[in-house]
């Protein structure tokens, strides 16, 4: 079928005024505070996470580099699988800051990802957290 992209997941829970975040793959949760992007999660990439390589090898898996790309079991380019990332956090923050409407910001982010060749499902969520908590 020629599918070349994967999937990833990120979640945010605001409970009792606290922000709880999680991710799998190479997607990120990014908080914008006064226009500055703060990455709240760590990508599960083998190129930057020696601890992930060790975890995989200690669990009986293997990791190797092929054509300059580290892969798990000869296939996955992320260490916790389900994904790809297409936008850099500061680009996304700039778009959100320029748009008054969160709906328009989401549409612009989806359009940007599509224009970069992503032909897979794209989901974007922008939440104004100041409505829920003091940041």
DSSP assignment string, 19-80: EEEEEESS---EEEETTEEEE-S---BTTT-HHHHHHHHHTT--EEEETTEEEETTTBSBSS
pLDDT at 112: 86
pLDDT averages per 10-residue partition of the chain, 135 residues: 59 89 84 88 76 82 77 62 45 84 91 78 78 63
- Structure confidence at residue 122 (pLDDT): 77
Spans of all domains in the chain:
45-78
For residues 10 and 21, the answer to whether their CB atoms sit within 8 Å is: yes
């Amino acid at each position: 079928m020629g599918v070349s992209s994967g999937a990833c997941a990120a979640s945010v829970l605001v409970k009792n005024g606290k922000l709880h975040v999680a991710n799998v793959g190479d997607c990120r949760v990014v908080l914008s505070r006064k226009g500055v992007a703060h990455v709240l999660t760590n990508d599960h990439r083998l190129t930057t996470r020696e601890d992930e390589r060790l975890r995989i090898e200690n669990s009986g898996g293997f990791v190797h580099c092929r054509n300059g790309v580290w892969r798990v079991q000869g296939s996955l380019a992320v260490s916790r699988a389900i994904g790809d990332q297409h936008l850099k956090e500061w680009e996304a923050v700039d778009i959100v800051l320029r748009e008054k409407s969160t709906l328009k910001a989401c549409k612009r982010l989806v359009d940007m990802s599509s224009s970069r060749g992503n032909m897979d499902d794209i989901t974007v969520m922008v939440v104004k957290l100041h409505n829920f908590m003091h940041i």
